[in-house]
A and B are shown apart, each in its own frame.
Chain A
Amino acid sequence: MEEFTIPKPPRTNYLNAEYGLKSWLLTKDHKRIALLYLGAISFFFFIGSLYAMAIRLELLSPQGDLVQSSTYNKMFTQHGIIMVFFFLIPSIPATLGNFLIPMMIGAKDLAFPRINLLSWYIYMLGGIVTIYALLAGGVDTGWTFYVPYSTTFSNSYVIATGLGIFINGFSSILTGLNFIVTIHTMRAPGMTWYRLPLFVWAHYATSLIMILGTPVIAITVLLVALERLAHIGIFDPAAGGDPVLFQHLFWFYSHPAVYIMVLPGMGVISELIANFSRKNIFGYKFVAFSSLAIAVFGFLVWGHHLFVASQSVYAGMIFSFLSFAVAIPSAIKVFNWTATLYKGSISYDTPMLYALGFIGLFTIGGMTGLFLAALAVDVHLSDTYFVVAHFHYIMVGGTLLAYLGGLHYWWPKISGRMYPEGWGRFSALVVFVGFNLTFSPQFILGYMGMPRRYHTYPADMVSWQVLHVLSTAGASILGVGLLIPLFYLIWSMRYGRIAEANPWNLPGLEWQTASPPPTENFLITPVVTQEAYEFAPPEHKEVVGKFERQQRTEI
């Protein structure tokens, strides 16, 4: 009798195609570069989290008893710089985006593999320069580098840190450039623009911000460094310069940068919501174009950071209006995700838990943003913990949750192994609880008047201390919730259950190749004949269910 064996996927994949340190450091494979980024970004995230814990510990008590105020200034500055420039901005694009965009569009690699590798080296160089600045004595200007403090009065390593950020910016520019060109020119036959997964649309919008915004911050940081070095007077009123010009230039990048952080997260969430509801996304084109709308509006709202910085009240009104306008495309996304859930076949796997958490937290973060965009309310809330809570709801509740959700969702594709589902769900819940406990008290604190960047507060304000203690307790829970995935994801790389090519049984192109994929992604260039998220094309008799394919008549 003849034995019939199911043909196995080729044993050679991108992970075992070559061995040795050199094969990693000189790789031009987008998937390996994504893993290089994953390692580096995790390292910076760890450092940034340590600073966050130190800040929370200091605020447990009203007195400045853990560190001195100058040390505290350095801690929150370095927390901000590392988290913003070295974790949040590259997080999803450089790891998940790098890994998945070519696979999702059916390409063998990004358009410029060497530039992709170069961007990682630039990122590392910027990181090393920044770490040097931190070790040499640190920097205490706040991540915003406001002049004249940063140019004249600060006695810390402003130039070295600025240089690190300047260098790092080019890595971001090159990543954005690579994505735009790849999405334009490398799509597989049949992969039309409206068949692109929404993850790709979100990254296209993100890349636009990266290439248009990042050069401006680069030249601005350069100007600060030159001003500090040679006192040429461009931001110095004594020489006829204007310090507010710095704020305009800084926020022209740094406000859109918020959308660099959250747009890729929204792309991940669109994937998760559609795929774990096993439904075509509701309003595909609206979700796709709302990403572009956010990118465009994002460039027109920087003035809402200058409401109390001598900006004319009329300019303030326009910026306030435009900031409200950003809520429209953001709400379109939230409503469409919710509508997708309706009558969906929802499964509560770990990625979906993160996705549902994202929707709630992003909504809170976005709505509190509207408080801050309202001129009169902002005067009261400016530079308080309300602002801190607001942007952490977007950056941590939004970007970090999406990043973790995406990492779990594509982990079988990336590593070829399943993560432990029970631990995954448990840690997702711990993260959600810990996050809310950390940051929701800060809304109240800010409303009550606790300013940001202070390391002491009045001892007789018992309610303030209670809220701070709650926040610190939450941060500890959040910390534990983030350590659990660190351990089990590393564990699963060796001991996890072997993943099939398509463990979630999904139609996306990235699932139609082996796990882990071969170096060239697809052995034969795929020809795309379906729309994105096509779970049940009407002409098909079979419906893709989570565990098995069913006949239409059975359901």
Chain B
Amino acid sequence: MSEVATTYEAGAHSALQHHFENMEQQREAGTLGMWVFLVTEIMFFGALFLAYTIYRYQYPAAFASASNHLDIRLGAINTAVLIVSSFTMAMAVYSTQVGKQRNTIICLILTMILGATFLGIKAIEYHDKYRDHLIPGQLIPGHPFNPAVAKPGDTDEHKLHLVEGATVHNVELFYWIYFAMTGLHALHMIIGLGIMIVLTIMAWRGRFGPEYHAPVEISGLYWHFVDIIWIFLFPLLYLLGRHLEGRIG
């Protein structure tokens, strides 16, 4: 053990901060810090998941109707986009570890493009909701929640098709949770993109290598976490009423 310790001390890396003994300790601290941070994030989203669970249990019909109005194609495409972005992120971490600087930069840029694509598609979805007057409460002044409800037999996609037992009030509650959760998720994506820009610049300047790759690894953890949140959000928000398809209309 002592030999290992001395070799680390002998070749102190320029990125080693003064209060750490060696790079290994610094990397461990950073990684553990990110894991602890992700735990706080789970609790942060957790309150919203709790609200979702309680209200879905109380108003299953309204939640199914509201969920059916979401665009499942866009949601599914976004899920695929995000999973691929997690793959490119993992490749960025790998390339850094083996010291392939060019591949790191390419993978980081690909991840950013995919992340931006996700946000673009999300923006289209938000706009559709805005058009259909589905923004809850007075979140946007002068544009209150006021969707057109479809009559039986009406197949207009822009109108809200209510399952038996659902009220517009409770549909509003679903949309409120939808916007809170996807909005918070999108905010995390935007922060992630910011981190990625910094990483790309650092990689461009050749700061990373086999001895020093902790920042890419740690940011990778964050990106995968944001991805996983979406993996939960997609079925909870988009798929929950699909089995009731036949009963609508």
Taken residue by residue from 211 to 231, chain A's Cβ proximity to chain B (1 for < 8 Å, 0 otherwise) reads as 111111011100100100111
Determine whether A45 belongs to the interface, using a CB cutoff of 8 Å to chain B.
no
Instruction: Kindly specify which of A131-139, A233-241, A388-396 makes contact with the partner chain.
Output: A233-241
With A112-B29, A234-B176, A240-B55 as known contacts, state yes or no: A219 contacts B44, CB within 8 Å.
yes
Residue of A whose beta carbon sits closest to that of B141: A230
**Is A185 a contact partner of B32 (Cβ separation < 8 A)?**
yes
9 closest cross-chain pairs (CB), A and B: A232-B137, A215-B44, A109-B19, A230-B137, A108-B19, A215-B43, A111-B29, A232-B176, A219-B47
How many residues from A make CB contacts under 8 Å with B? 42
Residue A466 is within 8 A (CB to CB) of chain B in the complex: no
Contact sample, A vs B, 10 pairs, CB 8 Å cutoff = A185-B25, A214-B43, A219-B48, A223-B47, A231-B137, A232-B173, A232-B176, A238-B169, A240-B173, A245-B51
Which B residues fall within an 8 A CB radius of A?
Answer: 17-19, 21, 25, 28-29, 32-33, 36-37, 39-41, 43-44, 46-48, 50-51, 54-55, 58-59, 62, 136-139, 167, 169-170, 172-173, 176-177, 180
Contact A112 B33 (CB under 8 A): yes
Known: A185-B29, A231-B138, A240-B55. A212 touches B50 (CB 8 A): no
In the assembled complex, the Cα of A231 lies from the Cα of B138 at a distance in Å of 7
User: Which residues from A are CB-within-8-Å of B169?
Assistant: 233, 238-240
Of A87-95, A176-184, A473-481, the one contacting chain B is A176-184
In the complex, the answer to whether B37 meets A232 with C-beta atoms within 8 Å is no
Across the interface, A212 reaches (CB within 8 A) one of B32, B43, B55, B58, namely: B43
The answer to whether B33 and A177 touch across the interface, beta carbons within 8 angstroms, is: yes
- With A181-B36, A240-B167 in contact, do A249 and B173 touch (Cβ < 8 Å)? no
Distance between B153 CB and nearest chain A CB, rounded to angstroms: 27
Q: Does A173 contact B (CB under 8 A)?
A: yes
In the complex with contacts A113-B19, A186-B29, A231-B138, A180-B36 CB distance below 8 A: yes
Instruction: Convert A189-230 into 0s and 1s, putting 1 for each residue whose CB lies closer than 8 angstroms to a CB of B.
Output: 000000000000000000000011111101110010010011
* Chain B residues closer than 8 Å to A220, beta-carbon distance: 47
Bound form: Cα–Cα A41–B158 in Å: 55
A residues adjacent to B (C-beta < 8 A): 107-113, 173, 177-178, 180-182, 184-186, 211-216, 218-220, 223, 226, 229-234, 238-242, 245, 249, 520, 525
**B-side interface mostly:** helix
Report A-chain residues with C-beta under 8 Å of the C-beta of B28: 185
Q: From B33, B40, B173, name the one whose CB has the most chain A CB atoms within 10 angstroms.
A: B40
Of all chain B residues, which has the CB nearest A211? B40
Given A240-B169, A249-B47, answer yes or no on A525-B21 (Cβ-Cβ < 8 Å): yes
- Does the CB pair A232–B139 fall under 8 Å? yes
Contact B139 A230 (CB under 8 A): yes
- B residues in contact with A213, CB < 8 Å: 43
What chain B residues lie within 8 Å of A218 (beta carbons)?
A: 44
In whole angstroms, what is the CA distance A69 to B134 when docked?
42
Shortest CB-to-CB span from B87 to chain A, Å, is: 29
The interface residues of chain A lying within 8 Å CB-to-CB of B32 are 180-181, 184-185
User: Complex: how many Å from CA A212 to CA B41?
Assistant: 9
Given contacts A111-B29, A240-B169, contact A233 B36 (CB under 8 A): no
A9 CB → nearest B CB, Å: 21
Smallest Cβ distance from A482 to chain B, in angstroms?
A: 34
Residue of A nearest to B47 (CB): A219
Residues in chain B near residue A180, CB distance under 8 A: 32, 36
**Partner of A111 from B33, B46, B55 at Cβ < 8 Å:** B33
Extra inter-chain contacts (18) besides given A215-B44, A226-B139, A232-B176, CB under 8 Å: A109-B18, A110-B19, A112-B33, A177-B33, A177-B40, A180-B36, A223-B51, A223-B180, A230-B138, A232-B136, A232-B172, A232-B173, A239-B172, A239-B173, A241-B55, A242-B58, A245-B51, A520-B18
